[in-house]
Structure 1
Amino acid sequence: MNYEPGGADRGDTYLLEDGSEPRSSRRRWIIAALVIAGAIAIALWFFRGGHNPAPEQAAAQSGSQIPTVSVAVPGRGTVRDVISATGSLAARREMPVGVAGEGGRVTRVLVEPGDWVKKGQVLAAVDNSVQQQTAESLAAQVRAAQADADLAKSQLDRAEQLVDRGFISKADIEQKRSAAESAQARVRVAQAQLQETRARNARLDIQAPEAGLVLTRGVEPGQIISSGSGVLFRIAKGGEMEMLAQMGEGDLDKVSVGVPAQVTPVGSDESFKGEVWQVSPVIDPQTRQGIARIALSYNAALRPGGFASARIMAGANSLPLLPESAVMSDNTGNFVYVLNDKNEAVRRNVKVGDVSDEGVSIANGLNGSERVVLSAGAFLNPGQKVDPVLKTLGK
């Protein structure tokens, strides 16, 4: 092994023949490096605070985890008490039309269901050939009676001119006067008989008792009809319709005449305005339900016998109104989250009123002055602190 002279005395490093350092020298370098690395790690630990952070720093770290939620103060507004009901559609005033006269063979039917008719319009014509001949015969009798009356009146007038001259006695005058009056009476009788026959003939045809909409037709040409033929036509007077809304006695007690309603026929997206015109004075003892009759104007979509639903505006209350996202429910019922003075979420059980496009009315549980969480309530826990952002409802 070679080495430089005097190297040991000067502290020089010994070198092996291949020029590398001995193992003992490398070990010392590794130990020194480890010591230095440990010192640096200890220094960093103390520098970063290897002890509890300051209260301000802990609060800042905690504050970064507080969720931000939207809240609103709902106040109290006018909320209508809406009652939902179902029922059938019908003509408000349905008029059954049958045979008013003697009847006979139907010659023509002049209307179809869906036609509008006027008062007195002929719906179906009945053969009146025999009755027409009778009327003509009576008219001839009237003319004959009138001729006799005219002759009797002329004779009376001539006799009255001769009585002063003594050619005719007063007895003859009284006789002629009586004959003239009798002839005039026979005229009136004949006229009355003719008018009666003409009236009967006019009643042979089936006529509309009032203006309205023809709903059904139950007669055909050639059919023999009489007073026992039953209903031949059904007419909705004026085309007016109604809905017979069935509801429980509790809801029926809230409804009064004149309140507005919205009626939607089954299978239609269109709603029709109406108003309650009659409230049933009795309750069905079997179903415990009553009927509110809702008047409706004519529309082709309102077909009698059809089924419909109704929303009746029974009244109005001053209640808080919230969006649906603010109200949640679980096994115990409906609830919302309100914030206390420390901005902590507090569960508040509520009773939900009517649900409409405007939102959910709160019938009980809120007075309207609370800060209510509008959304994200499902992710909150009671007592959790939040960062509130106040919103204005309706905007």
Structure 2
Amino acid sequence: MIKYTNWRMDKLSLIIKQASALGITIILSVALAGCSFLPKDEGTLKPPLVKPAQENYSTEKVTRGSIVKSINASGTFESTDTDLAQFRGQGGRLGKIVVHPGDIVKKGDVLVQLVLDDLDVQLKEQQLTLERAKYTYQQAINADKQALRIAGLQLEIEQIKYEKLSKQFNSKQLTSHIDGEVVFKEDLKEGDMVEPYQTLVAVADPSKLRVAIRVDNANDIKEIDVGVPASVTLKDDEVMGKVVQTPSSSPETLNKDLADKYAKTLYIEVSKLPEGAEIGSMADVKIITQQRDHVIKIPRSGLRSYLGRNFVRILEEGKRLREIDVEPGIVGSTEVEIIKGLEEGQVIVLQ
């Protein structure tokens, strides 16, 4: 029985050893099989070759020709003959402004009336008294000398009274001194106080017009002199004129408002009025301040400046850039003259 037991134990031990060996073999086989599913090492990938971008330049050739420096602005037609309605001796309470902007008036027409305080009635009464005195004097011509003398003195007295009342009445109203168009009316109501020399109405002659250009800064027109030609265009109708007054040539005046206006206004007279021109019409004005012919010139965008240095970049052989210092001359609206540094035909790079 002991022998049989030992035999069984030896058999079991052998089976265990064989099973262990088989297990290790399976594990190694699986491990090696797993490795066969991994991708093969292809080595380190090389970076793709990138072709550098070709830089594009905006270029222009240096040319020779004419260059013009001009001032382009908008101007307004206004009259050269204007009458300002003002009470110069004394003011008073406003009765009525009897005209409106756009009205056409004749010389002598009433524009403004102050409150009369029955002065018109008094003037009429005095006119009647004067006529009676004239009639009495005529009747006394055939009477004795004393009666004629008394009638004559009475006529003189009534004439003086009438003239004084008439002068007082006339001082209460303003009339136009010219034929023209009402271009301004002060915004006042009946009974408002009117100061001496306050402009209440302005009348302008519409047949005598010139162009006025107003600027905020007088330096914008400082290069313009009296006599410089100017073109004036109104609705495609272009006429020529010339500058007749600049801020530096304006007349002296004690009127502060007028002095301020002159300091920022340029006046142009035209040889003939363009079709449709009237007071207040807007026109395009071009004034040439400088002009040169047969000069080297480039687009303004080709000129570069830095810390007081003026230079351009030129493109050589279609690929090489080089900077060249230049001396600019007249600077127009789109082009600039180059006095020194460039030659016709060179290619410059624009900014």
**1:200 lines up with 2:178 in the alignment:** no
**1:293 lines up with 2:265 in the alignment:** yes
2:132 partner amino acid? A
CA contact (8 A) 2:111 2:201 kept: no
TM-score normalised by L of structure 2: 0.52
Q: What is residue 130 of structure 1 aligned with on the other side? A: 118
**1:128/1:104 CA distance change after superposition, 3 Å:** same
5+ residue gaps in structure 1?
1-68, 157-175, 265-270, 284-289, 303-307, 340-344, 380-395
SS at match of 1:148: helix
1:215-260 residue CA offsets vs partner (Å, 9 max, x unmatched): 341321x31545x3662525264466633444449x73x4321324
Report the Cα offset of residue 351 of structure 1: 0.4
**1:274/1:366 CA distance change after superposition, 3 Å:** farther
CA contact (8 A) 2:230 2:285 kept: yes
Q: What is residue 362 of structure 1 aligned with on the other side? A: 337
Residues 335-374 of structure 1 mapped to structure 2, 5 A cutoff: 335=312, 347=324, 349-356=326-333, 359-362=334-337, 364-365=339-340, 370-373=343-346
Report the Cα offset of residue 135 of structure 1: 1.8
Report the Cα offset of residue 299 of structure 1: 5.0
Report the Cα offset of residue 279 of structure 1: 3.3
Q: What is residue 132 of structure 2 aligned with on the other side? A: 144
Q: What is residue 378 of structure 1 aligned with on the other side? A: 349
Report the Cα offset of residue 365 of structure 1: 1.8
2:135 partner amino acid? A
CA contact (8 A) 1:117 1:214 kept: no
SS at match of 1:136: helix
2:348 partner amino acid? G
| Aligned equivalents of 2:240, 2:201: Cα separation in 1 | 25
**1:371/1:145 CA distance change after superposition, 3 Å:** same
| Aligned equivalents of 1:115, 1:87: Cα separation in 2 | 24
**1:223 lines up with 2:191 in the alignment:** yes
**1:276 lines up with 2:276 in the alignment:** no
| Aligned equivalents of 1:301, 1:101: Cα separation in 2 | 35
| Aligned equivalents of 2:264, 2:94: Cα separation in 1 | 41
Report the Cα offset of residue 292 of structure 1: 6.2
Q: What is residue 183 of structure 2 aligned with on the other side? A: 214
CA contact (8 A) 1:92 1:295 kept: no
CA contact (8 A) 2:73 2:284 kept: yes
SS at match of 1:364: strand
**1:141/1:291 CA distance change after superposition, 3 Å:** closer
CA contact (8 A) 1:97 1:208 kept: yes
| Aligned equivalents of 1:298, 1:346: Cα separation in 2 | 54
| Aligned equivalents of 2:96, 2:263: Cα separation in 1 | 41
**1:279/1:126 CA distance change after superposition, 3 Å:** closer
| Aligned equivalents of 1:187, 1:293: Cα separation in 2 | 56
Figure out how many residues of one structure are paired with residues of the other and give that number.
258
Q: RMSD across aligned C-alpha pairs, in angstroms? A: 5.1
| Aligned equivalents of 2:114, 2:193: Cα separation in 1 | 9
| Aligned equivalents of 2:312, 2:99: Cα separation in 1 | 61
Counting aligned pairs with the same residue, the percent is 15
Q: 2:227 aligns with which of 247, 254, 258?
A: 258
Q: 1:153 aligns with which of 141, 144, 149?
A: 141
CA contact (8 A) 1:263 1:272 kept: yes
1:204 partner amino acid? K
**1:243 lines up with 2:205 in the alignment:** no
Report the Cα offset of residue 71 of structure 1: 5.3
Report the Cα offset of residue 150 of structure 1: 1.8
| Aligned equivalents of 1:139, 1:236: Cα separation in 2 | 31
**Higher mean C-alpha deviation, range 326-335 or range 142-151:** 326-335
| Aligned equivalents of 1:196, 1:291: Cα separation in 2 | 43
SS at match of 1:377: strand
Q: What is residue 6 of structure 1 aligned with on the other side? A: none
CA contact (8 A) 2:228 2:242 kept: yes
Report the Cα offset of residue 362 of structure 1: 0.8
2:110 partner amino acid? V
CA contact (8 A) 1:96 1:231 kept: no
Q: What is residue 288 of structure 2 aligned with on the other side? A: 313
Report the Cα offset of residue 153 of structure 1: 1.6
**1:363/1:282 CA distance change after superposition, 3 Å:** farther
**1:237/1:88 CA distance change after superposition, 3 Å:** closer
CA contact (8 A) 2:312 2:348 kept: no
CA contact (8 A) 2:226 2:245 kept: yes
Residues 11-50 of structure 1 mapped to structure 2, 5 A cutoff: none
1:49-101 residue CA offsets vs partner (Å, 9 max, x unmatched): xxxxxxxxxxxxxxxxxxxx9857515x4x44435899999987776533357
